[in-house]
Amino acid sequence: MLSLLTTGGVPGRSVRARALAVLVVLGTPIPGLTAGPVWEDDNHSYDRARRAVSSGEAMPLPQAMARLRETLPGKLIATEYEYEFNRWVYEFTVIDMQGRLRKVHLDARTGALVQVTDD
């Protein structure tokens, strides 16, 4: 007996299973299945941040995100770890409660607010 979710000509193989196989082959992330923040750049800021946290030079990202929520509540869109303002910072792109797109820079070591700007 065939399921209602079968692909044309392939008995027993669901559309969902086929779509998942295609996504896995293409290496495309599946929305809703990835946890955590989105890293915005291609310059390996995730790796730099991970090394800095391991060496004690930066606070862990969840701790920085908690500080962000205290500073500027809203929806987190993207995260970067970069050298700006003569220090390493976590740069968060946030949609604030009024719907404005904002950039929030927190000192990566202390969590202190460095700058908030409209983006």
pTM recorded for the entire structure = 0.62
The beta-carbon contacts of 73-80 under 8 Å, at least 24 apart in sequence, are 73/97, 74/102, 76/37, 77/38, 77/101, 78/37, 78/38, 78/39, 78/40, 79/37, 79/38, 79/39, 79/40, 79/45, 80/39, 80/40, 80/41, 80/45
CA–CA separation, 78 vs 93, rounded Å? 5
Class of domain 36-118: alpha beta
Instruction: Locate the domains of the chain by residue range.
Output: 1-33, 36-118
pLDDT digits (tens, 9 = 90+) for 4-63: 333 444 444 443 433 333 333 333 343 433 344 455 555 567 788 888 999 999 999 999
The model's pLDDT over 49-98, given as tens digits with 9 standing for 90+, comes to 888 999 999 999 999 999 999 999 999 999 999 999 999 999 999 999 99
